[in-house]
Amino acid sequence: MDIDDNLPKTDEEWRSKLDPHRYEVTRQGGTEAPFSNEYYNETAKGMYKCFNCGLPLFSSDTKYETKIPGLMGWPSFEDAIPGSVKFQPDDTLGMHRTEVVCSRCGSHLGHVFDDDGAESKTGKHYCVNSCSLKLEKSE
């Protein structure tokens, strides 16, 4: 386990640790551009961990390619590793959404939606920013 025990504690420490784009997405709740991020079409097997603290978040076994307009172009997952994420209401941008954050370091990961397209076995659709994740590929 490459869990980082020296996590930043203040916003200023996060800002100095992360590149500006990653800081904006993971600590300010930003959203990266679709179709130009690292993992949206990644098919390798492995574990997607929190980029900022190393906590295992999503298995590649739960990753799928969505056909839902508006959610295409980011990594989609059916489920998270139990206990690895927390949920909080997000009413920004005039929408009612559920934000998904890392349960360990609180970094913003993305949002979870009810699966309207019958694509996901769990009925949930996790739409996650690639830059919040680091894929550890299995052999």
Active site residues: 127
Please give the Cα distance from 51 to 99 (Å, whole number).
17
Closest approach of Zn ion to the CB of residue 139, in Å: 24
Please, which residues have CB within 8 angstroms of residue 129's CB and are 6 or more apart in sequence? 25, 26, 30, 31, 32, 37, 74, 75, 108, 109, 110
- Pick between residue 18 and residue 71 the one whose CB is nearest to Zn ion: 18
Contacts of Zn ion in 13-72 (CB under 5 A) = 50, 52-53, 55
Task: Name the 3-class secondary structure at 93.
Answer: helix
Closest approach of Zn ion to the CB of residue 59, in Å: 16
Number of residues that bind Zn ion (CB under 5 A): 8
Tell me the longest C-alpha to C-alpha distance in the chain. Answer: 44
Residue position matching structure tokens 């206990």: 83
x-or-dash string of contact with Zn ion, 96-135, rule CB under 5 A: ------x-xx-x----------------------------
List the strands of the sheet with 56-59, edge to edge: 56-59, 46-50, 133-137
- Pick between residue 107 and residue 120 the one whose CB is nearest to Zn ion: 107
- Pick between residue 80 and residue 115 the one whose CB is nearest to Zn ion: 80
Where does this chain bind Zn ion (CB under 5 A)?
50, 52-53, 55, 102, 104-105, 107
